[in-house]
Structure 1
Amino acid sequence: MLITFTGSLSLFLAMIALAALPSSSVALVVVRSATHGVRHGIAASLGIAMGDLVFVALAVVGLAAMAEAMGTFFTVLRYAAAAYLVWFGISLIRSEPAALSGSAAAGGPGGLWISFAAGIGLTLGDVKAILFYAALFPVFVDLTAVTITDIALIAAITVIAVAGVKIGYAVTAATIAKASQGWPYRRAAQRVAGGAMIAAAWALALKS
């Protein structure tokens, strides 16, 4: 096994710190969880982690050149993710405050898949993520000599760190939303959240 315990721990802590930073992915998880229930927030979190795994694979096997060749594909994904965020933001602004009870909290399978797909699309739409992973991993492990065990460990660290932090956001957001039922400013807060999603879409679309 090439990657050491110290390297694994350092990578894990670094990914936790990066996953916790405010970003469009955090906004997606928080809003989906607060408006549709914690299950949707968790689904979005798992989608984000899945998108990160794609970039991990590209970085580990040295396919940065392929990612560059697929630039048009990633651009389409970025705009699609931005369009989804705009649609979601407008829906939040125009709709009545969502209740986290009954069908809204449970969500159907299709709805959960939408949250999951949104997480993947939002992550894969960030072309700079591949550059981040390509630059981060060599600090912790020699990518020219990784073993299958190393790859499995890196994948596990990515899922636990990224999904774990995002799920923490989801649970917290759902708890706060449930506690705020009947809060007179809930409609205003929902509009602010919608505006934040639109702003995040704008920032995502402008990334190069």
Structure 2
Amino acid sequence: MTFASVLALFGVMIALAALPSSSVLLVVAQSGSKGVRSGVAAALGVVAGDLVFVLLAVLGMTALAEQMGAVFAVLKYLAAGYLIWFGIGLLRSLRETAAVVPPPVRARGLVASFGSGLLLTLGDLKAIFFYASLLPAFLDLTALTAADVWILVAITVLAVGGVKVAYALGAGRASGLARRFALERPLKGASGGLMIGAGAYLLVRD
């Protein structure tokens, strides 16, 4: 693995991670409604899911993953259900008195946020085929060493994790400004609607 290929792959993964997606929406919504820690936990869950797909692609296990399509389909429906449930929760919270700050997030809540990010990512079986086609464009997968695999893991964590965590931090800051200028309710309503829409999209997507 050359330095040029590492740099190119890192740049591409950053760009792709920054594109608007259901995972970005989840991280932003978690951070805006439950606090930055929840958003970061969801981002780490997304990274964990991406790592699973990267390693499956590197190990040449895409055929196995395809045979396990039913498992990934179940995960997709669970992820879609979570998005819709979370969106409905945001909309229902509009009827409650807005809090000055998000409620404290306990360890169990952080685990749930992490799990939501992981579940959402693993529910997208196409991701493994995406990585299986992306990685060979930059790397010779047949010649990867153990050190190369660790470098690839580091690239994924830094690129995907860095972008998603940045979204979480930005959403947390925007949420604070929204509370200051009494925009929390409109933003919650918009986020809730988007979450429900993202969940419905997952349900109907092939």
Normalising by structure 1, what TM-score? 0.94
- Structure 1 residue corresponding to 2:135, chosen from 134, 137, 152: 137
Aligned length: 204
> Deviation string for 1:122-169 (max 9, x for gaps)?
001111101110000001111112110010000000011001000000
Amino acid across the alignment from 2:2: T
**Residue 169 of structure 1: SS of its match in structure 2?**
helix
- Counterpart CA distance in 2 for 1:142 and 1:131 is 16
Structure 1 segment 61-100 matched on structure 2, within 5 A: 61-95=59-93, 96=96, 99=99
- Structure 1 residue corresponding to 2:24, chosen from 9, 23, 26: 26
Structure 2 alignment gaps of length 5 or more: none
Which residue does the alignment assign to 1:195? 193
Q: Identity over the aligned pairs, expressed in percent?
A: 52
Which residue does the alignment assign to 1:167? 165
Q: What CA RMSD, in Å, does the superposition of the two structures yield over aligned residues? A: 1.3
**Residue 144 of structure 1: SS of its match in structure 2?**
helix
Amino acid across the alignment from 1:4: T
Amino acid across the alignment from 1:193: S
- Counterpart CA distance in 1 for 2:9 and 2:37 is 28
Structure 1 alignment gaps of length 5 or more: none
Which residue does the alignment assign to 2:35? 37
- Counterpart CA distance in 2 for 1:178 and 1:38 is 10
- Counterpart CA distance in 2 for 1:14 and 1:157 is 11
- Counterpart CA distance in 2 for 1:139 and 1:89 is 38
- Counterpart CA distance in 2 for 1:109 and 1:57 is 28
Normalising by structure 2, what TM-score? 0.95
- Counterpart CA distance in 2 for 1:76 and 1:63 is 19
187-196 or 55-64: bigger deviation: 187-196
Amino acid across the alignment from 2:161: A
